[in-house]
Amino acid sequence: MADRIRITSISNQIIKEVRSLSSKKGRTAAQAILLEGYRLVKDALNSGAIIRYFIISDNFFQKEELFLSQMSNIKAVQVPDALFSRISKTESPQGILAVAEMPVYNNKEIYERVKRIIALENIQDPGNLGTIIRSADACGFDAVLLSKDSADPYNPKVIRATMGSMFHIPVIIEEDFSQALFKLKSKNILLAAAHIRDALPCWQADMSEKVAIIIGNEGNGLSDNVLELADINVMIPMPGNAESFNASAAASILIYECMRQKKEKEKNKIF
């Protein structure tokens, strides 16, 4: 490590900054996000995230000195185990967290190259959002588009739910969600809205090429403006007794269906 200091007071300015990152206001002011847990921190490092500094507990330092010795250019702040527990946001702290630079994307460049995207209007649950980002990453989507009234993608609960995918796929927040969809449509990207009215079963809709899957709010679904913009509505038939899938399950199924269709089309081209 480039530098290691020890802090024992919760009133220390560094500890105050770490605690402030639990709120959107704090993250915006610092342009930084909080990463907690060995796996998430390591994945962020491997993905090229810019780490400002680590916070490590005494216990973690004793057990993982080899891991920390590899971080020769990153400052570390060591704190007593009890203090770490007070700043941790998990029930069973692993003893390491990192403060990282908030990702910055060139939106214009992303819109130029994007072919498959998941677009989320007013998604509120952090767990749903994190799961959808993870599914989009797993199935090779190019980006995630969020309306400005959706949950904050840098909320620690979202980041934990992504399991590292936050650093693999760009997440764009748009002030004007409808305008962003119109921009995608102008680039011949199919707008496929998850909605049951006049809808095709997802496996009957051709989503094998350029596509934007649009998912709405957990309780209210998609707005009328968005539904008017959509090229097609798609649904997931449910032979069981459940009333509906939740937003992350529906999104993940549709994302996977897009991938399946793409792979099937590529396979047929070969033969």
For residues 270 and 48, give the distance between their C-alpha atoms in angstroms, rounded to a whole number: 36
Asked if residue 77 and residue 118 are part of one domain, the reply reads no
For residues 151 and 5, give the distance between their C-alpha atoms in angstroms, rounded to a whole number: 35
Question: Residue 1 pLDDT > 70, yes or no?
Answer: no
Asked if residue 214 and residue 199 are part of one domain, the reply reads yes
Domain hosting residue 66, numbered range: 3-101
What is the per-residue pLDDT for 77? Answer: 92
Q: How far is CA 82 from the centre of its chain?
A: 30
Domain boundary among 68, 101, 134: 101
> 158 and 151 in contact (C-beta within 8 Å)?
yes
Asked if residue 162 and residue 88 are part of one domain, the reply reads no
Domain boundary among 39, 70, 101: 101
> Which amino acid, one-letter code, is at 69?
S
Asked if residue 231 and residue 142 are part of one domain, the reply reads yes
pTM for the model: 0.90
Asked if residue 139 and residue 29 are part of one domain, the reply reads no
Burial class (CB in 10 A: 0-12, 13-18, 19+), 18: buried
Number of domains in the chain: 2
Question: Residue 92 pLDDT > 90, yes or no?
Answer: no
Asked if residue 143 and residue 261 are part of one domain, the reply reads yes
State what percent of residues in the chain have pLDDT above 70.
96
Question: Residue 271 pLDDT > 80, yes or no?
Answer: no
Question: Residue 34 pLDDT > 80, yes or no?
Answer: yes
Structure tokens at 13: 């300015």
Asked if residue 43 and residue 26 are part of one domain, the reply reads yes
Asked if residue 224 and residue 156 are part of one domain, the reply reads yes
> 27 and 152 in contact (C-beta within 8 Å)?
yes
Residue 154 belongs to domain with CATH number: 3.40.1280.10
Residue 55 belongs to domain with CATH number: 3.30.1330.30
For residue range 120-156, list pLDDT tens digits in order.
999 999 999 999 999 999 999 999 999 999 999 999 9
Asked if residue 68 and residue 119 are part of one domain, the reply reads no
State what percent of residues in the chain have pLDDT above 90.
73
Asked if residue 71 and residue 112 are part of one domain, the reply reads no
The band of 86, judged by pLDDT with boundaries at 50, 70 and 90, is very high
Asked if residue 210 and residue 181 are part of one domain, the reply reads yes
Domain boundary among 81, 101, 121: 101
Asked if residue 121 and residue 93 are part of one domain, the reply reads no
For residue range 178-215, list pLDDT tens digits in order.
999 999 999 999 999 999 999 999 999 999 999 999 99
Reduced 3-state DSSP string for 176-229: CHHHHHHHHHHCCCEEEEECCCCCEECCCCCCCCCEEEEECECCCECCHHHHHH
